[in-house]
Amino acid sequence: MGTLIQLEFQKLFRRGMTYIGFIAILLIVLIIQVGMFVEGQKLLDFLIKSLSDVFLLEGKLINNYTVSYIILNSLWIHIPILVAIVAGDMVSGEAGRGTFRLLLVRPVSRAKLLTAKYIAAQAYAAMLVVLLMIMSLGVGRLFFENGDMIVLMNTINIFDESDVLWRFLAAFAYGAISMWVVSGLAFTFSSIASNSLGPVVGSMSVLIVFTIMSNFSIGIFNVIKPFLFTTYLNGWQLFFDDPIEWDKVIGATLIMMFHITALYFLSLWIFTKKDITS
């Protein structure tokens, strides 16, 4: 099994599309960091203008943690696309290249082959999140100092510098799990399709529709929302509540893990029943 996984990683990093996600994250994060370094104070002044009339805010509010939080909010809408591009090609790409029959003549079961591909796809999704974390928290120190962080959500939370880093690490870990769901969805479409475009379009379409349903608080949507993975994709924000509602964090994590597992077994069932003609 280990050899299969190693081979899948080798194939993964021979494809040019694999590097699109890494390059996109590098460029987007750098653009945001440079922009915030140059114009960040003006933007912050505009955002907290109403607060400044009530509270006396001192210190460097534009710091590495504040910018990292902004990056998190702005990039979780883009990372699913980057994940889907690669995960959607893991199985369907083999069909498009006509290499499935060659793979299956080896004494390896379909289940092991698909599992190796699934692990490689999920590892890639985790790599993107880790790169985002390194770029945000690590490279960000080249532009900004660390400091206290103000978070504007349903309430105004101000966190001491010593109480911030672990929250980011937990948020990124949660973010990796949420991206595994997206990767699993694209992978499932990939096990059905015979080209790479269909899984990307299909998974993004499901993501958009489910996101719309998750954000509507009317009628039947209220019944469906707790079962949609999109309801929990932005759950990383829970780590910036004070106090943290751990029951919600644990519940959201378990639901997403259920989706990851269910999508794997659905992909496995589809792939084992599929006629390989290429």
Query: Do the Cβ atoms of 116 and 1 come closer than 8 Å?
Result: yes
Q: Which of 207, 177, 9 is nearest to 90 (CA)?
A: 9
Phi, psi of 33 (to 5 degrees): -65, -45
The residue assigned the tokens 């996600």 is 21
* 90 pLDDT higher than 90: no
Q: What is the pLDDT of residue 156?
A: 72
SS3 for 159? strand
* 46 pLDDT higher than 60: no
Q: What is the pLDDT of residues 109-131, one digit of tens each?
A: 778 888 999 999 999 999 999 99
Domain hosting 243: range is 2-272
Phi, psi of 275 (to 5 degrees): -80, 120
**Side-chain-side CA neighbours of residue 161 (13 Å):** 10
- The pTM (predicted TM-score) of the whole model is 0.88
Structurally, the chain folds into a number of domains equal to: 1
Q: Which of the four pLDDT bands, split at 50, 70 and 90, describes residue 166?
A: very high
In a domain, 277, yes or no: no
In a domain, 199, yes or no: yes
Mean pLDDT of the chain: 82
Q: Which amino acid is at 262?
A: A
Phi, psi of 100 (to 5 degrees): -65, -45
C-alpha 262 chain-centroid distance: 18
In a domain, 278, yes or no: no
Per-range mean pLDDT, top range of 86-90, 152-156, 190-194: 86-90
